Chains A and B, each alone.
Chain A
Amino acid sequence: GENVEQHPSTLSVQEGDSAVIKCTYSDSASNYFPWYKQELGKGPQLIIDIRSNVGEKKDQRIAVTLNKTAKHFSLHITETQPEDSAVYFCAATANFGNEKLTFGTGTRLTIIP
C-alpha cells in the first residue's frame, strides 16, 4: 500500500518568512495530493491540492509543487502570518474520487511574531 513520509515534524519561522514542508510517497499510481491544515481541537481542513497531471499550483500565499519522477511534493507558504500556525498534513491517494487518503505524519508549524 501507499506510504507517505513528511518532513520536518516541527518547523518554526519568523513572521513574514517562507515555510516549506516536504512529502514523499511510495505508490507511483497515486494521482491526487491534498494538503490539510489542522488547528487545535478541530478537524483537518483542505487548503490546497494537486492532481498528478500538474506540476505546480498556487493559491495566494500557498503553493504546492509535485515531482512525479522523484515521487515527492511540497507545500510552500510565503509571507507567513501568526494564523498560519497549525499542524499541516500531506496526503496521497491513487483513488481520486474515493478519497482513501494516506496521510503523512504531520508538521507542526509555529510562526514567531
Chain B
Amino acid sequence: EPEVTQTPSHQVTQMGQEVILRCVPISNHLYFYWYRQILGQKVEFLVSFYNNEISEKSEIFDDQFSVERPDGSNFTLKIRSTKLEDSAMYFCASSKGVNTGELFFGEGSRLTVL
C-alpha cells in the first residue's frame, strides 16, 4: 500500500541552526501539507502546497519556515533558525486532490531543539 515517508525520524539540533525535514508524498497525489504536534497537544496545520506554490499557511508558518518541492518526489520543510518552541513532531501529509477528503499522513519527524 502506498504511504507517505518522512526523514529523519528524529533530529536534535541546537537553537539557531537550520533544519530541513524531508517527505516523499504518495506518487499520484497533488496536494501536500505540513502539520505539527507539540508533545501532548493537538495537531496543528502549518501549510498546504499545490502546483508548486503555497496555497494556504497558518499564523505559525512565519518567515522562518519555507517549503519546497525540489524535484518530482520530495517535499521539504525548512526552518531557518530554530527556536526552542519549534520542538515538536512534524507530520507531512498528501491527498489526491479536490473533493477527495482523505489526508494520508507520514509517521512524523520528531524535532528537538536544545
Contact = CB atoms under 8 A, between A and B. Distances in A.
Indicate the size class of the contact surface on chain B: 20 to 34
Nearest to A49: B101
Interface in A87-113: 89, 91, 95-106
Interface string B45-63: 1001000000110100000
Interface stretch (A13-21, A40-48, A58-66, A69-77): A40-48
B75 interface: no
Nearest to A42: B107
A105 B41 contact: yes
Nearest to B3: A43
A98 B103 CA distance: 10
Closest 6 CB pairs of A and B: A43-B105, A97-B98, A103-B43, A103-B42, A105-B42, A43-B107
Given A43-B4, A91-B43, A99-B48, 16 more contacts: A32-B101, A34-B101, A36-B43, A43-B91, A43-B105, A43-B108, A49-B102, A51-B101, A89-B42, A97-B98, A97-B99, A97-B100, A97-B101, A98-B48, A98-B56, A103-B44
11 contacts: A34-B103, A43-B4, A95-B56, A97-B99, A99-B33, A99-B48, A99-B103, A101-B43, A104-B42, A105-B41, A106-B42
